[in-house]
Chain A
Amino acid sequence: MPNGAQPVLDVQGLKTVFKIRGGEVHAVNDVSFDLRAGELLGVVGESGSGKSVTMMSLLGLLPTPPADVRDGTVTFQGQDLLKVDAETLRGVRGGKIGFVFQDPMTSLNPVYNVGMQIMEPLRKHMGMNKKQATVRAKELLELVGIPDAERRLKDYPHQFSGGMRQRVMIAIALACDPQVLIADEPTTALDVTIQAQILELMKDLQERLGMAVIWITHDLGVVAGIADRVLVMYGGQIVEQAPTRELFRDPQHPYTRALLKTVPRVTGGREERLAIIEGQPPILGEQPTACPFRDRCDVAFDMCAKQNPPRFDVGNGHDAACFYDARTGGPRNA
């Protein structure tokens, strides 16, 4: 386990707001985390919890307007990515940090062949000529397990299946040997067997290439299988952070505990029904001043309405943003 390794990416106090008609949506609030070299960091949370917005904010990939990354620092190789000039940022995007998006069906440009789309970052970031880039592109397709790679370089996205396209996306993200790979729910659009294949592939590549990976998903089962450490997001905040085994052994936040109950478990050959968390995730019109999970929390008490809980360290590299201490059954002493 790469525990205690140097962080390659350090995010502090990130805040992203969308300006919409008649107000704002505070999609990401004071998010801080780090990513250590060679680790696979899982990010979980239900739909709308701000996972994608957080990751896209890091690389300035959100359309502005409406998005506005208002606050925070993103330290990567001694530079704050939120402050660097456009050219430096472009050098990081696709060169040092690769990105795989949620929907493989629409993430490739339909009018260019996949060879050209894989070669684009190679030529830009690695300064390769066309011939070198072609050779490398072929290697990459082989790496992600696409048979007959040389011929397929000339094919267009519509000639690939969904799973194949996602492999192409992964090949693009890996093209320039990035230090960090951000995968935003890379398997949700795929069927279960393909999901398992892609998962297998990513884990394998990560071990072989030694890069750090951020893996976004809303599937805790996936996280349990591959992640070294987990961030749980809710209402645009990180509500719990822990090494994977620690999180599953001793979840601290009521939201995490509810999530864990929704993971299907095979007991005695019969699958239990999913426990559904009552209520809706909040859409925050302003900076939250109370715990965003309050309305759905079964152990909420007066403190929770007065203040937004900070992240309390509970030992073993584990922290949770909750005033309630499950171990004592009473309030935490800050």
Chain B
Amino acid sequence: MLTYTIRRLFTAIPTLIFISLIIFLLLDMAPGDPTASLPLTIPPEVREQIRQSLGMGEPVHIRYLLWLKQMVWSEPMFYLSQSVSWIDTPDAARLISWQTRAPVLDTVFERIPQTLMVVGLAYVVGVLIALPIGVISAYRQYSVFDQAGTFVSMIGFSIPPFFSGVLMIILFTVMMPNDSFWWFPSIYDTTLVVDSWENFGKQVRQMVLPVMVLALQTTAQISRFMRASMLDNLNQDYVRTARAKGMTESVVVLKHVLRNSMIPVITVIALGIPAIFGGAIITEQIFKVNGIGQLLIVSIQGSDVPMVQTLTFIFAVLIVFFNLIADILYGILDPRIRYD
């Protein structure tokens, strides 16, 4: 298992380097100039100086290597030096956003909690609802429960969040009377500090709509996968063997069938984690959650190349990282993989 994990880890590194190169080159080719948004009164020589100071004069491969060094060495070292005293603050300048002039990663770290709170929670809720639904739907195939589950999943599958989000706002914010228990805010207030029960209640209420929208999507997909995987396994011979050994139905289903069924599903769940950051870009926009999805949109609109580069790179890291997690979980669940 250890060698398996280490092997996976090593294959992840070249993948990441390759992805970062692609991201860098793609964004480098994109039109846009860091001085474009500066006032027109600045003379061309000064403009050129600013460009030079941002490193724009170097050839592309040098800039890539510098950027890579910044991402994997200088920035991590900076954060390390902040948290432990025995590391000196590195001399290298921080990576600065063209738009806000603030260090890119500081902004990113400010935004991550909102995203995790809303998108992460929605995913957890979605998965936790989806797994039992999938198990029961498969075990009681064609029952009323299964039919209802199929119907709800179909809705979750076919309605994109930008539609269901707006629908929710119309139903629960616009049409619902303001004093009703069922009224929920459509705008996520990031400045809210949870320091009292009342504010905690507010926080929960403002999370309801975005979490519901995202969770519906997750539940629909994962519960379908779970159901299909359970159905595949319920007909296997080893299930009959378990019954012939006198095992109770709960042991048969929750021990023998479930573990086998989780093998493909766990991959889908792990790979869905980075993907939901992408899906959340739209949902964050609709509910004005200023998470990193929204940050990406704003940065793209403002041609903020360093920010976009960093965010896409983070997404790429997340994807590779959760691929790795999926592989490892896969190995834990399935001995046939582990012993290759």
Contact = CB atoms under 8 A, between A and B. Distances in A.
A41 interface: no
Given A107-B238, A109-B238, A156-B336, A94 B259 contact: no
B339 A94 contact: no
Contact of A106 (B238, B243, B246, B247): B238
Nearest to A62: B240
Given A90-B248, A94-B245, A101 B240 contact: yes
A309 interface: no
A106 B237 contact: yes
A107 B237 contact: yes
A113 B244 CA distance: 18
A93 B339 contact: no
B33 interface: no
Question: Which among A95, A120, A158 has the highest number of chain B CB atoms within 10 Å?
Answer: A120
A108 B245 contact: no
Interface in A265-296: none
A109 B260 contact: yes
B196 interface: no
A186 interface: no
Contacts of A112: 256, 259
Interface in A187-239: none
Nearest to A182: B244
A158 B238 CA distance: 13
B15 interface: no
Given A103-B237, A158-B336, A172-B241, A110 B260 contact: yes
B333 A93 contact: no
A125 to B, nearest CB: 6
B335 A110 contact: yes
B336 A101 contact: no
B232 interface: no
Interface in A52-94: 59, 61, 63, 90-94
B335 to A, nearest CB: 4
Interface of B is mostly: helix
A263 to B, nearest CB: 29
B260 A111 contact: yes
Interface in A145-179: 156, 158-159, 169, 172
A107 B241 contact: yes
A283 B235 CA distance: 23
Contacts of B242: 109, 120
A109 B334 contact: no
Interface string B243-282: 1111110000000100110010000000000000000000
Given A93-B243, A111-B260, A101 B237 contact: yes
A121 interface: yes
A128 to B, nearest CB: 14
Contact of B339 (A90, A121, A124, A159): A159
Nearest to A172: B245
B236 interface: yes
Contacts of A111: 259-260, 263, 333-335
A156 B335 contact: yes
A106 B236 CA distance: 7
B260 A101 contact: no
Interface in A112-134: 112-113, 120-121, 124-125
B245 A120 contact: yes
A103 B336 CA distance: 19
A283 B335 CA distance: 41
B293 to A, nearest CB: 37
A255 interface: no
A108 B242 CA distance: 9
A95 B334 CA distance: 29
Given A94-B245, A111-B333, A156-B335, 20 more contacts: A90-B246, A90-B247, A90-B248, A93-B245, A98-B244, A99-B241, A101-B240, A101-B241, A106-B237, A109-B241, A109-B256, A110-B334, A110-B336, A111-B260, A120-B247, A124-B245, A124-B247, A125-B246, A158-B336, A172-B241
9 contacts: A61-B244, A107-B241, A109-B241, A110-B260, A110-B334, A120-B247, A121-B246, A124-B247, A156-B339
Interface of A: 59, 61, 63, 90-95, 98-99, 101, 103, 106-113, 120-121, 124-125, 156, 158-159, 169, 172
Interface of B: 235-238, 240-248, 256, 259-260, 263, 333-336, 339
